[in-house]
Amino acid sequence: MKAAALAERARRELLATGGKARRHTEAASDELTPQEAQVAHLVSLGLSNPEIAAQLFISSSTVEYHLKKVYRKLGVSTRTQLAHLMHEQAESSRRPVTPVGDR
């Protein structure tokens, strides 16, 4: 098996594109990948799996795969729960920080 050679080739090609391989750690395994984040965002906008697939140029089954991982990582089980969570996160990131002296 030439898995090590293939892994090295993939690493070099990724570096050539300007990307970096992420280290697999416990913390990293719970973070959404960029593709998962895109799928989650598009679900929160109300798009269907076929619509998401067309927009991201992937198959509907790939959307389902990413969505299952998103559900597990974020602790939700429905599109509605995911949409609420995404909207809550967006709102909390838009709230201005109140200076301590103004409270």
- How does pLDDT run across 3-16, given as a tens digit for each residue? 777 777 877 877 87
Q: Where are the strands (E) in the chain, listed by range? A: none
- Predicted TM-score of the model (pTM): 0.65
Higher pLDDT, 44 or 94: 44
- Contact present, 56 and 11 (Cβ < 8 Å): no
C-alpha 23/C-alpha 98 separation (Å) is 36
DSSP-derived secondary structure letter, 17: T
**What CATH number was assigned to the domain covering residues 25-94?**
1.10.10.10
- How does pLDDT run across 37-61, given as a tens digit for each residue? 999 999 999 999 999 999 999 999 9
